[in-house]
Structure 1
């Protein structure tokens, strides 16, 4: 059985918890130390419960709180060499474990498979978590869906999927043209219809949960993201979850 919950998801900060048995991992931490502890408490967890922290890439909304949390509570850190190099952090006081972006690793009761994604970072990855029976795929901060991404995510039992922006809202926004190009480009973020298109291209027959994540507060609306996903899956909109910036989402279970 896999359990997963979000501390918050958006441009202000991201953190996800994934559990199996006695193993609880945090994926990214873009919140300050006090805020992270408070959000863990909301999910009935504390830093001492964590087996460690996995990192996707070096952007502040994913990495900003990682090093302080890891040092204070002596937590192992897993990230790619490129992410580590781009972080410009001193290694002192860290239990750092560099990973291969194509090789799975076992942490406690979870098998963790990193996979590379196109994004404007040094060596970004996303992850699939498995307890040998169930698979949870996490895909945020990706500009373009690749064949490898489709292969890795096909057949998952749960998905946390980026629905960052709506193309029309982004085009009409007051963002500078350069920022609009970055967000919508092949190293930016997934648009609602592109996320929905991914779901049409992979095996979703085992899906128990899907959560739209990393929604832009300025260039998207939850209803637009949920509608796109529900149409792609042919399901009721009420079945599609949304990770919010303030409260993420509560525990969900893959059985």
Structure 2
């Protein structure tokens, strides 16, 4: 059984917990760590977990809202870290107790969890996202990408759960207070997905097995919860109660697949 929860999602910090197995002997992976060690400890406690129980930290890319807390947490609790060579080369703190390098085109295993990485178009050195599996169910994660490619669609087809970026509303971004250069970066092909792109991606996927869909990385300044939920519903042709969002403050509570 795959279980997953979010410690928080947004421009102020991101971290997702994925686990499989019996609680006393789980494989527990922290995907990204954009929070301080103290904050991670506090947010894990709300999910009835501890930092000591984390099996591994896996990093998607080197932007600070995804990696700033990795080094300190890994050193304090002696947690091994998995990342691409490009992410490692462009990270400021790589003094990890144990480092494993990922090829973003090759699957690998961490104890009971199978990880399928795939490259995404984002303005980082070698960014990737993942599909996690226990051999039965699949959880796809797709945030921090600026455009939809056939390869991304292929990787996310027929997943059982999907955490999908709904970063911004195009009208709000382009009429908002961000400097023009930042607007261009966010909305560029290597920036973030807007609500309409999330709809397009969902409509391109085979979703017959989909049990959970959660909107991620929702901008506090350039989007609204209503807009993001509407986009997910449009993409799946479903009612609002069938979808949910991760928040910056609380993430989301435990969900299960299997």
Q: TM-score, normalised by structure 1?
A: 0.98
SS at match of 1:136: strand
- Residue among 24, 27, 42 paired with 2:28: 24
| TM-score when normalising by structure 2 | 0.97
2:100 counterpart SS class: strand
**Matched-pair contact (CA < 8 Å) for 2:146–2:191:** yes
**Pick aligned residue for 1:199 from 199, 202, 214:** 202
CA displacement at 1:88 relative to structure 2: 3.1
Shift of 1:171: 1.0
Task: Name the Cα RMSD after superposition.
Answer: 0.8
Counterparts of 2:198 and 2:98, CA distance in 1: 35
Tell me, in whole angstroms, the C-alpha distance in 2 between the residues paired with 1:241 and 1:67. Answer: 31
Counterpart-to-counterpart distance in 2, 1:173 and 1:107: 43
Q: How far off is 1:90 after superposition?
A: 4.5
1:155-186 Cα shifts (integer Å, max 9, x gaps): 00000000000001001101111111100000
Secondary structure of 1:196's aligned partner: helix
Partner SS for 2:164? strand
Indicate whether 1:68 and 2:41 are aligned: no
**Which structure 2 residues correspond to residues 208-227 of structure 1 after superposition, within 5 A?**
208-227=211-230
SS of residue in 1 equivalent to 2:90: helix
How many aligned residue pairs are there?
Answer: 254
Once residues 237 and 88 of structure 1 are traced to their aligned partners in structure 2, the CA distance between those partners, rounded to angstroms, is 41
- Following TM superposition, by how much is the alpha carbon of 1:234 offset from its aligned partner in structure 2, in angstroms? 1.2
Change (3 A) 1:71 1:59: same
What residue in structure 1 maps to residue 157 of structure 2?
Answer: 154
Unaligned runs of 5+ in 2: none
Shift of 1:89: 2.7
- Return the match for 2:169 from 166, 169, 184: 166
Q: Which runs of 4+ in 1 moved over 6 A?
A: none
Deviation at 1:94, TM superposition (A): 2.1
Deviations 1:55-96 (A, max 9, x none): 0000000001001000100001000000000003343x5201
